[in-house]
A and B are shown apart, each in its own frame.
Chain A
Amino acid sequence: MNAPHDPNSVGAVVAQKARFDSPLKLRSGAELPAYELAYETYGELNAARSNAVLVCHALNASHHVAGYYENDKGNVGWWDNLVGPGKPLDPRRFFIVGSNYVGSCFGSTGPASINPKTGKPWGADFPVVTVEDWVEAQARLADRLGIERFAAVIGGSLGAMQALQWTLSYPERVRHAVVVAAAAKLTPQNIAFNEVARQAIMTDPDFHGGHYYEKGVVPTRGLRIARMIGHITYISGEAMAEKFGRALRRGQPGFDFDIDFEIESYLRYQGDKFSTYFDANTYLRITKALDYFDPAADYGGDLTAALARAKAAFLLVSFKSDWRFTPARSREMAKALLDNHRIVSYLEIDAPGGHDAFLLEDERYHAGLRSYFANIDL
């Protein structure tokens, strides 16, 4: 990760919040009476307002895409290796917006926010939100920032689903969609992993049906396990073997249930860390948003018909070692776009990192993004 003294860093950044007082109608039929959206921006919107790029984040990230906070210099943005002066997505050329989504626990209105009707945290009563809802909320942010049309919308994983949904909800507002490590819908296997994670949270005695805030507790055990399961699916077996092997923490088997293998230590560490900063109600909702995303569902499963209304040019990127969202999922999207005679390029990167490869700095991957962004006319 880049240290704050990195000359190619966007430098110190400030998170901002936009408040929207008109209700947000959700796909579920529920309504958010008002909401706040946390965001950050890097670079300047040009006079023609033609250089805006929206960066959508995945499950555990936030609007803090690049740079660091003055009072917390170690808190470097999650896509800092991509976004910065001299980096593939360069704020000297683009006005880059990192947007959070509703239901998050990083500053936007979410389950831990106060429900105006009760004066207490929403908790379990916070509605289930979807990718479509997030795009609606972000579209209002774009209006607020004076962005009629994005030069590009980019995201990886769940962020890529948002980028894709942008091209469907607002075909005229997206010129380029950069859709990385994506799927147009989850497989039953993906949903299965999500369900195990949710069960881990909901069966934690500290969950209290989602109203744990008022009890002053956190379903830490559930969150830990949810995160451990997630991590197993984000890394390829190959990368895991490479990184951890069968190395024994104590040099020899302990013949007990303390940590033996390095991978156990890693998973426990990741689980512990996650459970200190992530909200369980948010986790439940985000995994549901993933599960529900399926733009082809309204077209009898026909993705070609579903993507017919997209007008953007697409760059799809997948990673060969990603077994969570495999290259086959990206090829499905490529096919649907080709069927519709859309402009599309597809890169299949032979990187070992698994699903998380989209966050890493593979030379070919970043070279592709760099050229793609450089070729976007402003």
Chain B
Amino acid sequence: MRPDLAAIVQWVPKGARVLDLGCGDGSLLRSLWHEREAPGYGVEIDDDNVLACVANDVNVLQVDLESGLSLFADRSFDCVILSETLQTIHRTEFLMREMLRVGREVIVSFPNFGHWRARVQVVLGHMPVSEALPYEWYETPNVHHCTINDFEDLCRRIGVRIRERLALHEGRPVTTLPNLFGSLAVYRCTAD
């Protein structure tokens, strides 16, 4: 399992109602169901992923995240998860607000653009390509890269309270200088 997903599974309380945005083939939702008895729904736009969810017996809703979460009532989920999807969203602030409207808690993970290897590649004159950032600039689905500091600035600005943070590199937690040595960041947030 992807290291950020393992962390997310640990953060989801037993029996929580979960909404997984950009849920891929539904494997996180399946793990949450098996390990946490947490029932959930996925939101996914890609046809192949949506069909994989149906095949995996995961509830999936094929709607576009960019148009918001209008299908979901206020506070209708215990946990709203956005794993490695934040960087692909155009209306980032809007979606963050929507997530906090719909869920009591929000879990977000993203590749940290501030990781030292990314910084080195930029200094050497290239857009970073790495395990956490696997795309060339001309084929990436990512539109809004950010660093750990950037994300925390946004949270402060829009009144999101960070409850927990985990920086990871190669699956292991990073505690020293996370914005430099963490290639992946996972956050648990609530509305203020």
A372, B59: Cα distance in complex, Å: 10
B76 within 8 A of A: yes
B55 within 8 A of A: yes
B72 within 8 A of A: yes
Given the known A-B contacts A346-B61, A348-B62, A348-B63, are A338 and B51 also in contact in the complex, defined by CB atoms under 8 Å? no
The residue that B47 contacts in the complex, of A315, A339, A341, A364, with Cβ under 8 A, is A364
A344 within 8 A of B: yes
Given the known A-B contacts A338-B71, A338-B73, A339-B73, are A331 and B53 also in contact in the complex, defined by CB atoms under 8 Å? no
- What residues on A are CB-neighbors of B59 within 8 Å? 343-345
The residue that A350 contacts in the complex, of B17, B47, B55, B70, with Cβ under 8 A, is B47
A6, B56: Cα distance in complex, Å: 30
Q: Is the CB of A334 within 8 A of B47?
A: no
Q: Is the CB of A372 within 8 A of B70?
A: no
Q: A316-333, CB under 8 A of B: which get 1 and which 0?
A: 000000000000000100
A144 within 8 A of B: no
Considering only residues 74-127 of chain A, those with a C-beta below 8 Å from chain B are: none
A375 within 8 A of B: yes
Minimal beta-carbon separation of A367 from chain B (angstroms) = 5
Minimal beta-carbon separation of A204 from chain B (angstroms) = 43
- What residues on A are CB-neighbors of B122 within 8 Å? none
Q: Is the CB of A346 within 8 A of B47?
A: no
> How many inter-chain residue pairs (CB < 8 Å) link A and B?
51
The residue that B51 contacts in the complex, of A331, A335, A367, A375, with Cβ under 8 A, is A367
A347 within 8 A of B: yes
Q: Is the CB of A335 within 8 A of B55?
A: no
Considering only residues 42-72 of chain B, those with a C-beta below 8 Å from chain A are: 47, 50-51, 53-55, 57, 59-63, 70-72
A349, B51: Cα distance in complex, Å: 11
A187 within 8 A of B: no
The residue that A345 contacts in the complex, of B17, B61, B71, B72, with Cβ under 8 A, is B61
* Band of interface residues on A: 20 to 34
Given the known A-B contacts A335-B71, A338-B76, are A346 and B51 also in contact in the complex, defined by CB atoms under 8 Å? no
Q: A270-302, CB under 8 A of B: which get 1 and which 0?
A: 000000000000000000000000000000000
B110 within 8 A of A: no
Residue of B nearest to A337 (CB): B71
- What residues on B are CB-neighbors of A315 within 8 Å? 54
Minimal beta-carbon separation of A32 from chain B (angstroms) = 40
Considering only residues 337-364 of chain A, those with a C-beta below 8 Å from chain B are: 338-339, 341, 343-350, 364
A371 within 8 A of B: yes
The residue that B61 contacts in the complex, of A334, A339, A349, A372, with Cβ under 8 A, is A334
A344, B59: Cα distance in complex, Å: 6
A371, B55: Cα distance in complex, Å: 5
A237 within 8 A of B: no
Which residues from chain A sit less than 8 Å from chain B, CB to CB? 315, 331, 334-335, 338-339, 341, 343-350, 364, 367-368, 371-372, 374-375
Could you write out 15 A-B pairs with CB less than 8 Å apart? A334-B61, A338-B76, A341-B17, A344-B59, A345-B59, A345-B61, A347-B50, A347-B60, A348-B63, A349-B47, A368-B51, A371-B51, A371-B55, A372-B54, A375-B54
Which residues from chain B sit less than 8 Å from chain A, CB to CB? 17, 41, 47, 50-51, 53-55, 57, 59-63, 70-73, 76
Known: A346-B63, A348-B63. 18 other contacts (CB 8 A): A315-B54, A331-B63, A335-B70, A335-B71, A335-B72, A338-B41, A343-B59, A344-B61, A345-B59, A347-B50, A347-B60, A347-B62, A349-B47, A364-B47, A368-B50, A371-B51, A374-B55, A375-B55
Closest A-B pairs by Cβ, 3 of them: A371-B55, A371-B54, A348-B62
